[in-house]
Structure 1
Amino acid sequence: MDLKETDILGADIGKHWYYRSKARAMEHLLGDVTPSIILDVGAGSGFFSRKLLSNTSAKQAWCVDISYEADSETLEAGKPVYFRRSVDEVDADLVLLMDVLEHVDDDVGLLNDYVKKVPHGTRFLISVPAFQFLWSGHDVFLEHKRRYRLNQIEDVVRRAGLTVKRGSYYFGAIFPIAVVIRIVTNLLQRGHYKAQSQLSQHHPFVNGTLAALSSAELPLFLSNRVAGLSVFVLAEKS
């Protein structure tokens, strides 16, 4: 999760359709996987691990991000959250990498580093932005290196030493709208991408409509290997 987006949305981030929907997709993908100790890599504010602490029996979360000024701790739903710039070994049974791997040059290397830090049997839940042809100034603003097709991120996961359990696209319901907007915008900019976030506070009607569209596709989420704005993968360290 990018702290730049946290700065834009502030305290209302949990109400924004994108993050609300992404948290629901995360929980849907986990299914009956019940974490105890969460390692949240590139965690930013810790939004996603905090959601799991609030909504599941998870006991604690370790949030790791090089952007933190110092180590700190807090509580979420009465459970400890540890913010760290780095960690060594962690006895986690769930590792989150929510929109992280697209930020680094060596995605396989970064993922493999964290595979080595956790026990066998640990699950990894990964999300990344989908489809390189959707590249825009939003990616430039967030300092992305790439966007992925589903088979590409699954290949990264396997090369990092994990076994893929499930993989699918999400935000398929609004995919056609986003394709038109980004293609038209990119044509107008003639390949000169302006570094600018496309995330903003929406009118309540727009926010509610986009959230409803995203919720409506959840029953088909796990079988969607066709298209969407984001790619999710659930994997395991064997």
Structure 2
Amino acid sequence: MDLKETDILGDSIDEHWYYCSKAAATRRLLGDQPIRRILDVGAGSGFFSHHLLTHTDAQEAWCVDISYPADSSASTAGKPVHYRRGIDAIDADLVLLMDVLEHVDDDLGLLKAYVDKVPSGSRFLMTVPAFQFLWSGHDDFLEHKRRYTLAQFETLARDAGLTVRCGAYYFGAVFPLAAALRLLPQGRQATEPRSQLKRHHPLVNAALKTLCRVELPLLSLNRLAGLSVFVLAQKP
């Protein structure tokens, strides 16, 4: 999760339609399989780790991000959260890379490095922005290197030595609107780097949440279109 977006949304991030919906999709894809220790790579504020510690049986989280000024520890829902600038091998059974791999030049190298740090059987839940043709000033603002198709992202996971368990697009319900804003001449985004994420009127926020909630039961079946790509994979 990018700290730039945390700065924009502030305390409202827990209620923002995008992050609420993404957290719900995360829980749905993970299912009921127990979670003991989370390794959250490029964690930023640790939003998704905090969410899983609060809403699942996950017991501990290690959040890794080079942007942290120093190593520290805290707790969420009475469970330990460790913030680290780097980490060696760790006995984590769930690895999160939530909108991380699009930020680095060598996405395969970074993913392989973390595959090597965890034991066999560890699950990887990963997201990236979808479709290069949707590139806009939002990507420039967040310093993205690329956007992905589902097929490209599944191939990346396999090349890193993972077995893909599920791959899907999400935010398909809002995809037509976002595509229109980015592609139509009268709505094309400005070329200057700026975030499209913002605080909405409560009614707008609620409507967008509802759209994404309706889509959620079909998440694992959506291989057609969306704003985000989700892949759940496992280290053999």
TM-score, with structure 1 as normaliser = 0.97
Partner amino acid for 1:235? A
Distance 1:5 1:81 in 2: 21
Residue equivalent to 1:63: 63
RMSD: 1.2
Deviation per CA, 1:186-227, whole angstroms, max 9, x where unpaired? Answer: 9756xx721000000000010000000001001111100000
3-state secondary structure, aligned to 1:148: coil
Aligned length: 236
Contact 1:186 1:193 in 2 (8 A): no
Unaligned runs of 5+ in 1: none
Q: Find 1:222's aligned residue among 208, 217, 220.
A: 220
The answer to whether structure 1 residue 199 and structure 2 residue 178 are counterparts is no
Deviation per CA, 1:91-113, whole angstroms, max 9, x where unpaired? Answer: 00000000000000111100000
Distance 2:110 2:230 in 1: 17
TM-score, with structure 2 as normaliser = 0.98
Partner amino acid for 1:199? L
Runs of 4+ in 1 over 3 A off after TM superposition: 185-189
Distance 2:13 2:56 in 1: 20
Q: Say if 1:14 and 1:185 are closer, same or farther in 2 by CA, change over 3 A.
A: farther
User: Identity percentage over the alignment?
Assistant: 65
The answer to whether structure 1 residue 102 and structure 2 residue 102 are counterparts is yes
3-state secondary structure, aligned to 2:43: coil
Q: Say if 1:161 and 1:50 are closer, same or farther in 2 by CA, change over 3 A.
A: same
Unaligned runs of 5+ in 2: none
Residue equivalent to 2:20: 20
Distance 1:219 1:142 in 2: 30
1:1-238 to structure 2, matched below 5 A, reads 1-184=1-184, 193-238=191-236
Distance 2:145 2:99 in 1: 12
Contact 2:182 2:188 in 1 (8 A): no
Q: Say if 1:187 and 1:207 are closer, same or farther in 2 by CA, change over 3 A.
A: closer
3-state secondary structure, aligned to 1:168: strand
3-state secondary structure, aligned to 1:220: helix
